[in-house]
């Protein structure tokens, strides 16, 4: 109240105080202005006098210079016309000296200098007059002697020094007064500006004060009215807000209380329950009276959780980070355990101080048990898959072992002279043995793909070389079924970036499939074209065809196009599955088309085209016939007698000297008296395995240079890596084809002398 009255008094006095200030300011401004004007006039007078003095000094110096110039001209030329400027300047010197004396006689700064100047000027004039007289009377030579005496030059230099000294005094005086005048001018300018601004400010302030007094009255009235309306509005809003809060609190309490699947409650900082909902009764079994006010930790947490600190860590985490998960086993009122899923959160006030906790939890025991069961089943399936892969690997090994002597025996028979009937039987056996090999290889490929172990060795290759290799492999089956094969493939220039062996396998499987599901005298057409950015391979036949409803699942595992009982050569139903998988691994697509049963079928494979420029050289699959090799001393280590005998005879037929042993220990003993160069060894043998034999031979200086070939029924990539790591130079999967044996011996570069003694 006191401050308000003080402000009111100040507002009433502001107008007369402002008017008085304006008057004082105007008087002060006038006084300062007059004083500054007087100072400017005084400085201007001084500078004018100094300028006149400087003009006289300059004129005096100029007159002396003219007199001396006229004197020198007369002396040099003898022409009396030069005496006219001399006489004029000499007369002018009297007037200038007298006028200069009048200006500086009372100036202490020039007194001594002017007295000296007057004396020197008199001497100079005398010297000038004397020289002229001597020239006119005695001639140029006499006057030259006077000039050579240099008295005139010395006098003139002293005159210039005196005049320069007086000039310096006057110029310094002018500079001082000019600076003073400038300062006075600046003071006058700033004073005028300041007083003008201050005056305008004061006048404006007075006018503003009057205006504000009127505005203040109007504003005070408006403020009073606005404040009255604001207070009324705030009162109305508060009433409405309180009503809404009461409704919201009621709705929240009803909502939380009606949620029965979730136990939702709050606690204070000591973990005592401060709220309850019906879910607490359903999930935990506690009534409101049994629950409120009690420490929830011993009620719902398991004893081991309380003992090992799990409970305290949960609340500490919630306090530190805002929330903590509580997915774990909890307890009900009856001490029965259940799997709870939920969240513990911290509650903080406006000052961010911890005031309690909230907890939401749900009974997830059924889901937990289901999840555990799923995990168990997944583990069982994984174990079953592992056992299946082991079974397939073992099955392939066990099938290859008896198949090896059969295939090698058939190949050995092919190197003999047989009559037509026996050769036909041999050819049939060889074709069926090759079919068995392909089935085993397909099984192992499917196993590798299922485990993600298949490896592509991609290179840029002409598609024609792949087609030729596939046709060569499948031609015998097509011929045996008395079918025709037409091939339409560009000779060169059409390239793909693929694993040649795998795509050859794809085409071969499609050709074999077309042959198996076509009758005698049916035709098969194999064509290759480029369509946009793809190389498209088509295998079309006019055989049994495919039912429309089977086109969707024809590439599924173990799917059969026809009745496998009726067609004994239908296979395992994995060939097309392998085709699709291998094509898709190369970034391509495969599709099947058929107009129906009995109307033939067409399989299309699309692979991304590649340019021959993508590789330094385009790879080809054309294999040259092995160069004839020399005879090698070979040791066969095989515990299967039938295979050992057939392998021995086959290698002997190829021109090599062969010895056979049945174990790794026997091989080491045999090397004591047999100078072997190449060893073919089985892997799975009793006592010493093939891996052990290879490591022992590589560890001995006398035998570490031998060529070691692993000959095994295990054909996984890991099996090959394991064999090479043990010390084998080559890994051959049973049954070993005679062509591979010939290529192996052709590639050998053995030293001529290898010691067979084991150190």
- Tell me the DSSP string of 25-84: HHHHHHHHHHHHHHHHHHHHHHHHHHHHHHHHHHHHHHHHHHHHHHHHHHHHH--GGGHH
Q: Sort 205 into a burial class: Cβ within 10 Å, 0-12 / 13-18 / 19+.
A: middle
Q: What is the pLDDT of residue 547?
A: 83
Domain 633-747 in CATH 3.40.50.2300? The answer is yes
Relative to beta strand 534-541, strand 523-531 is antiparallel
612 secondary structure, DSSP code: G
Residues in the chain with pLDDT < 50? 255-256, 563-570, 572, 616-625, 750-759
φ/ψ of residue 261, rounded to 5: -80, -15
Q: Is 121 helix (H, G, I), strand (E, B) or coil?
A: helix
d(CA 361, CA 166): 110
Q: According to CATH, what is the number of the domain 455-614? A: 3.30.565.10
419 secondary structure, DSSP code: -
The length of the chain, given as a count of residues: 759
Tokens of 529: 């074209």
Give the class (CATH, top level) of 259-363: alpha beta
d(CA 741, CA 730): 11
Q: What is the pLDDT of residue 564?
A: 40
Q: What is the pLDDT of residue 237?
A: 77
φ/ψ of residue 137, rounded to 5: -100, -45
Q: Is 218 helix (H, G, I), strand (E, B) or coil?
A: helix
Q: Sort 538 into a burial class: Cβ within 10 Å, 0-12 / 13-18 / 19+.
A: middle
Sign of CA dihedral 667, 673, 679, 680: negative
d(CA 613, CA 270): 77
> How far out from the chain centre does Cα 109 lie?
86
d(CA 569, CA 500): 27
Count the neighbouring beta carbons within 10 Å of the beta carbon of residue 311: 21
> With contact defined as beta carbons under 8 Å apart, do 716 and 702 qualify?
no
Q: Which residue has the tokens 């004591």?
A: 672
Q: Tell me, yes or no, if the pTM score tops 0.85.
A: no
Q: What is the pLDDT of residue 567?
A: 42
Where are the chain's structural domains?
2-214, 259-363, 455-614, 633-747
> With contact defined as beta carbons under 8 Å apart, do 355 and 349 qualify?
yes
Q: What is the pLDDT of residue 146?
A: 62
């Amino acid at each position: 109240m006191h401050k308000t009255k003080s402000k009111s008094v100040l507002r009433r006095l502001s107008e007369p105080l402002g008017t008085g200030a304006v008057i004082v300011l105007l008087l002060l401004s006038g006084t300062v202005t007059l004083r500054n004007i007087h100072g400017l006039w005084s400085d201007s007078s001084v500078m004018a006098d100094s300028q006149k003095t400087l003009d006289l000094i300059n004129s005096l110096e100029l007159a002396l210079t003219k007199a001396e110039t006229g004197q020198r001209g007369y002396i040099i030329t003898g022409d009396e016309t030069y005496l006219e400027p001399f006489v004029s300047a000499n007369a002018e010197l009297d007037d200038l000296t007298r006028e200069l004396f009048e200006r500086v006689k009372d100036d202490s700064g020039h007194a001594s200098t002017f007295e000296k100047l007057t004396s020197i000027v008199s001497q100079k004039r005398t010297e000038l007059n004397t020289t002229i007289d001597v020239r006119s009377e005695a001639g140029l030579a006499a006057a030259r002697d006077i000039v050579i005496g240099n008295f005139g030059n010395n006098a003139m230099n002293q005159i210039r020094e005196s005049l320069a000294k007086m000039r310096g005094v006057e110029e310094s005086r002018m500079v001082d007064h000019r600076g003073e005048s400038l300062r006075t001018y600046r003071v006058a300018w700033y004073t005028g500006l300041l007083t003008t601004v201050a005056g305008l400010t004061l006048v404006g302030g007075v006018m503003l004060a009057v205006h504000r007094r009127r505005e203040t009255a109007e504003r005070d009235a408006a403020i009073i009215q606005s404040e009255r309306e604001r207070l009324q509005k705030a009162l109305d809003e508060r009433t409405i807000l309180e009503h809404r809060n009461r409704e919201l609190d009621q709705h929240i309490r009803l909502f939380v209380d009606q949620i029965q699947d979730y136990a939702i409650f709050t606690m204070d900082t000591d973990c005592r329950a401060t709220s309850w909902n019906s879910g607490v009764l359903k999930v935990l079994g506690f009534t409101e009276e049994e629950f409120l006010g009690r420490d929830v930790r011993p009620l719902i947490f398991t004893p081991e959780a309380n003992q090992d600190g799990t409970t305290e860590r949960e609340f500490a985490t919630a306090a530190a980070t805002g929330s903590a998960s509580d997915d774990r086993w909890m307890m009900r009122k009856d001490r029965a355990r259940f799997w709870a899923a939920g969240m513990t959160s911290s509650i903080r006030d406006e000052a961010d101080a911890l005031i309690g906790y909230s907890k939401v939890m749900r009974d997830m025991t059924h889901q937990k048990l289901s999840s555990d069961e799923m995990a168990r089943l997944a583990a069982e399936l994984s174990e079953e898959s592992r056992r299946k892969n082991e079974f397939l690997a073992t099955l392939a090994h066990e099938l290859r072992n008896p198949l090896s002597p059969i295939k090698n025996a058939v190949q050995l028979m092919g190197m003999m002279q047989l009559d037509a009937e026996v050769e036909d039987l041999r050819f049939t056996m060889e074709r069926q043995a090759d079919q068995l090999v392909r089935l085993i290889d397909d099984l192992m490929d499917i196993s590798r793909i299922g485990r993600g172990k298949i490896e592509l060795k991609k290179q840029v290759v002409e598609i024609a070389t792949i087609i030729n290799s596939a046709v060569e492999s499948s031609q015998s089956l097509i011929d045996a079924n008395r079918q025709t094969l037409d091939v339409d493939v560009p000779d060169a220039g059409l390239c793909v970036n693929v694993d040649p062996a795998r795509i050859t396998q794809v085409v071969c499987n499609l050709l074999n499939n077309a042959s198996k599901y076509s009758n005698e005298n049916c035709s098969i057409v194999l064509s290759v074209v480029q369509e946009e950015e793809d190389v498209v391979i088509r295998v079309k036949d006019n055989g049994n065809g495919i039912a429309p409803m089977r086109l969707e699942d024809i590439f599924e595992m173990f799917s059969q196009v026809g009745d496998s009982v009726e067609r004994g050569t239908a296979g395992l139903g994995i060939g097309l599955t392998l085709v699709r998988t291998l094509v898709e691994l190369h970034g391509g697509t495969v599709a099947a088309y058929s107009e129906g049963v009995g109307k033939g079928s067409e399989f299309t494979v699309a692979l991304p085209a590649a340019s021959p420029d993508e590789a330094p050289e385009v790879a080809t699959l054309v294999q040259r016939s092995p160069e004839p090799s020399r005879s090698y001393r070979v040791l066969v280590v095989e515990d299967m007698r039938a295979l050992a005998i057939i392998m021995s005879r086959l290698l002997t037929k190829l021109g090599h000297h062969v010895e056979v042993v049945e174990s790794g220990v026997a091989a080491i003993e045999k090397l004591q008296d047999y100078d072997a160069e190449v060893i073919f060894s089985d892997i799975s043998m009793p006592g010493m395995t093939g891996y052990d034999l290879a490591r022992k031979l590589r560890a001995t200086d006398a035998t570490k240079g031998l060529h070691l070939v692993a000959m095994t029924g295990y054909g996984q990539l890991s099996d090959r890596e394991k064999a090479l790591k043990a010390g084998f130079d080559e890994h051959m999967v049973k049954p070993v084809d005679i062509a591979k044996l010939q290529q192996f011996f052709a590639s050998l570069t053995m030293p001529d002398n290898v010691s067979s003694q084991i150190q």
